Structure 1
Amino acid sequence: MKRVYTILLISLLFVFAGCSGKMGYGVVLWSIPEQNLYDGEIVPVYAKSNISKVYIIGLPDSKQKFEVPLWQISAPESKRKAHKTASYYAEYRRQYARATVDGLPIRAEPVNTANQVYRLRLNEMIKILYKGEGQAVMVGKKALNGEWLRVLTSNGSRGWCFSYNLRLFDETASDAGAAETVEEKDEQWERITATRWVPDFYKEIIDSGKIDIARLNPAYGFDEGSESGFISLSLADISISEEFRGAEKTGFNMYSLKDTPFTITVQSPDAITVQYVGKDGLPSSYNFITLEKSGIPQFLALNRPSPTELSAQPLLPSDKENFMPEPDAGTAVDAEMDAAEKQTEQKPASEYVKELISYEQERRLKQYLSISSHGPVFVSSNYGILTLNEDGGFIWSGFRLLHNSGILPSSLRTADAGRGKATVKYFIAGELENQFDGVLTFSFAGTDTEVNFLYKIEETGLRLENITAGSIKKSTVAARSSNPLVLFFAKR
């Protein structure tokens, strides 16, 4: 036991032996305002304790000495080298930052897939040491604005953090980087809360004139949660809900939703970017626009039947019991005006999307019925008999010559008739619009394979041209197959 005490005493004497002299000089990395010391200043280092993990340093031009954590001072070196080290950190002297999202990762390398060494809490403060070169942080095919910064945390962790979700500030500023609580009369925030946000690709769909139902969903959108009490983000690849606990303005056009991994960046009065930091620490950004900017209400207003048009349509049998006399001209005009006014009402965006989907489903049905009513039975001496029923069901018999072509599912037996559902679900673009009427899709019962044909309604029948796999992108056919098979069926 006496031997252990002797060794410990010798160790302590060795550790603090330099207290009378100097180990060298270090650069303050994190300001020590209580001692009137700030980052970038050079101080004498007298001793180091590996047990307490502290340096004993002195104040410049003073005999006063005190302890500081090892991480708060650079490694002791000669005075000349210390000045060189200080110049290395000079660009970001007195520069700190706060995290604008909860869970923002600090990584071992300036690469977005590198190991995490620390995760920042919302509004946690860090010291910026210097800037480095690193791998671009991508959201889809777009690189995020920002740069990789070497940072230091208040517990001594060091690593690399991408600046996109950092709010930098000078510690000499009056607010010292304090988070700014969103005020009640923040007009920008009020606009965010009053807006119906939908995915930005909805505008692309409307502008194209090709309403791709597969990309529409009434649930898609973003709600910042101030009214509902829950923040919700819903898209094809993500569905997240968090309790709303308030918002903080963390920049001129940035808001952090308290105690959540959500940040909102206002890109324009009609567009925002919502960033979400997942459990893996990786940020994902999603772009939303106002319902009005998407063009959906305007599209529906132009394409939905007016009251006058509806009154001119023949009554279906199911409608006769609810028959109302046709309104006079004045009443019809009033009804149209009332309908137009209702378009400005603040109904949920999901209702507009549902109406758009319904409109497109009806358009597709009408397009299919234009084919069916041209037959409904079409006959080919080579490719069999094709019957297209009004309800979308089809029967295809006598397709023996197609059996080994690879066009129809190989599981179909030539002795049987192929049955299933025929639909119009895809679009054509470019020059094909002048050559064909559309795309007819066959889904055969008992198989997962769908077969697609470009079709043209001709006076004497129906012309089909097969489309090879991979020809359809974003629900649109832009080019014919390189070596297509053309099938002609005469109407019976």
Structure 2
Amino acid sequence: MRVGKIYSSASVLVIFILLLLSCTSGGIGYGVILWPPEGSSLESADVVRIISESNIEESYIIEDPRSEENLSLKRWRVDYYNNENEARRAAENYRPFANTMALSSRVGLPVRSEPDALSDRVYRLRQHEELKVLSKATEEVQVGEYLGFWYKVLTRDGTQGYCFDKELTVYQEGEREAVLSVQNVDPRVDDFFTRSYYPERFVHLIRRGTPALQVLNPEFGFFPDREQGVVTIVSSKYRLSREFSGIEEAGTNRFYLTDSNVYVTLENPAPPVSSILAQFQNGPEEITARFIAIPDLEEIIEKEKLRREEALQQIVEMGERFMSSAYGTIEIFPDGSFNWTGKERLVPGTIKAGFGDTGSIRFDRYISPKLMRDYTGAATFRFQGAGPEQGISFLYSLEPQGIRFTMIPEDNVKDFMVDEIGYNSLVLFMNLQS
């Protein structure tokens, strides 16, 4: 009897485990595909079996109903249901909108939490941003002075909400280019918003090999942000921020950032847009300025910083102390600071009386190709007590016994470039001290 009871209990346990496995082997539920990934065999309104879920990845593992392969999909692409019947009923309701898309006609069009103009904004659309339509209200409603429908929509970051159709263009999948064409959207406009633009002078300095860091400030320029609906224009004299609600044609190649009082002329006949002419107000002043796209500006700046650091280290590696019986002793340190004592003969004719003995050495001058045969580079000694733009500049050549400095009159420096040394320039030879 005891054996029979044990056998009977074991059988019940096995049957229970088998039932449990049969219940769980089918996955965790079912889903309706809302917006399939590009290139996928899945289609909107497909019903799929959901195998598992990852909270870390915010995704489902689903079974492709066509290939029967398991795929990973972000959760926002799938509407979850507990059982297959619920999923199929939902799919039938969604099927009329399976291929329905929409475009925002302006910057800042709100997606709201409810089909109500007073409900919370959950997303701010970019101009011509594409949306997936999930459903449409059955009745027209009045919003302000407009009569229209609310659409339930899905954005590409997974936000769901409601959008009023006043500034929404609804179309079928695959018709996007035709819709944009009907709206007369210049293909350069989308390209224009993908870049930052910098003052034309930056390009001039870079092309002639004088990327002066005191000028190439990456915060200066023309920065259009379509997503936020803001254009920022910055220079050493002003910082302007203008909100805009869209972009509209204002003449041949000319566009107006709506409501911003900023006009932009796109100077390239086709994408990519690399040169623009901007017109805007700074108080009572009307400004017209050209800005250029410089994709590798940050890289150019880093290379110039490295060049200056290498020039300093080249001197420091010779030794830190250089002396002249006539012009004193210069100590140059690895951090770019210096100490120049015994320079009385140079005061006040060359070095102003108010300058101290210490300061920093900068390699912010450039020499023309014809001077490169005779000189290693150019350096500026900026003394404590001097103004930020004051200092003494020299051409220098590194020699086995020390450094030969040839003074450069500031009149010979044109846009940071030294093209000639002039007549009777002061020459200082500073002997290397071991």
What is the TM-score normalised by the length of structure 2? Answer: 0.53
Superposition map of 1:138-157 within 5 A? none
Question: Following TM superposition, by how much is the alpha carbon of 1:464 offset from its aligned partner in structure 2, in angstroms?
Answer: 0.7
Residue among 272, 277, 289 paired with 2:276: 272
Conserved? CA contact 1:462–1:489, under 8 Å: yes
Q: Distance between the aligned counterparts of 1:182 and 1:274, measured in 2?
A: 27
Task: Give 1:443's aligned residue.
Answer: 382
Q: 1:397 to 1:257 in 2, by over 3 A?
A: same
Whether 1:410 and 2:353 are equivalent positions in the alignment is: yes
Question: Following TM superposition, by how much is the alpha carbon of 1:182 offset from its aligned partner in structure 2, in angstroms?
Answer: 10
Conserved? CA contact 1:205–1:212, under 8 Å: yes
Q: Distance between the aligned counterparts of 1:394 and 1:223, measured in 2?
A: 39
Question: Following TM superposition, by how much is the alpha carbon of 1:458 offset from its aligned partner in structure 2, in angstroms?
Answer: 1.0
Task: Give 1:15's aligned residue.
Answer: none
Whether 1:202 and 2:188 are equivalent positions in the alignment is: no
Q: 1:363 to 1:194 in 2, by over 3 A?
A: same
Residue among 312, 326, 330 paired with 1:382: 326
Conserved? CA contact 2:337–2:361, under 8 Å: yes
Conserved? CA contact 2:366–2:418, under 8 Å: yes
Task: Give 2:315's aligned residue.
Answer: 371
Task: Give 1:86's aligned residue.
Answer: none
1:188 counterpart SS class: helix
Superposition map of 1:2-401 within 5 A? 183=183, 185-268=185-268, 269-280=273-284, 282-292=285-295, 296=296, 352-353=297-298, 355-401=299-345
Conserved? CA contact 1:182–1:247, under 8 Å: no
Q: 1:464 to 1:182 in 2, by over 3 A?
A: farther
Q: 1:183 to 1:227 in 2, by over 3 A?
A: farther
Q: 1:270 to 1:182 in 2, by over 3 A?
A: farther
Conserved? CA contact 1:429–1:478, under 8 Å: yes
Q: How many residues align?
A: 247
1:275 counterpart SS class: strand
2:249 counterpart SS class: strand
- Letter of the 2:396 counterpart: Y
Structure 1 segments of 4+ aligned residues over 6 angstroms from their partners: none
Q: Distance between the aligned counterparts of 1:458 and 1:182, measured in 2?
A: 71
* Deviations 1:222-267, CA, capped at 9 Å, x for gaps: 2334222211112233321111122221223111122222111111
Question: Following TM superposition, by how much is the alpha carbon of 1:184 offset from its aligned partner in structure 2, in angstroms?
Answer: 7.2
Whether 1:484 and 2:428 are equivalent positions in the alignment is: no
Conserved? CA contact 2:355–2:385, under 8 Å: no
2:315 counterpart SS class: helix
Q: 1:399 to 1:256 in 2, by over 3 A?
A: same
* Deviations 1:305-329, CA, capped at 9 Å, x for gaps: xxxxxxxxxxxxxxxxxxxxxxxxx
Conserved? CA contact 2:280–2:288, under 8 Å: yes
- Letter of the 1:368 counterpart: L
What is the TM-score normalised by the length of structure 1? Answer: 0.47
Whether 1:455 and 2:383 are equivalent positions in the alignment is: no
Question: Following TM superposition, by how much is the alpha carbon of 1:283 offset from its aligned partner in structure 2, in angstroms?
Answer: 2.9
Unpaired runs of 5+ residues, structure 2, are 1-180
Conserved? CA contact 2:229–2:244, under 8 Å: yes
* Deviations 1:406-429, CA, capped at 9 Å, x for gaps: 11121258xxxx222222121111
* Deviations 1:256-280, CA, capped at 9 Å, x for gaps: 1222221111111432111113432
Task: Let me know the Cα RMSD of the aligned residues.
Answer: 2.3
Q: Distance between the aligned counterparts of 2:258 and 2:243, measured in 1?
A: 9
Task: Give 2:115's aligned residue.
Answer: none
Q: Distance between the aligned counterparts of 2:363 and 2:215, measured in 1?
A: 16
1:214 counterpart SS class: coil
Q: 1:260 to 1:228 in 2, by over 3 A?
A: same
Q: 1:198 to 1:278 in 2, by over 3 A?
A: closer
1:431 counterpart SS class: helix
Q: Distance between the aligned counterparts of 1:482 and 1:470, measured in 2?
A: 12
- Letter of the 2:281 counterpart: V
Conserved? CA contact 1:261–1:278, under 8 Å: no
Q: 1:182 to 1:467 in 2, by over 3 A?
A: farther
Conserved? CA contact 2:246–2:257, under 8 Å: yes
Conserved? CA contact 1:452–1:467, under 8 Å: yes
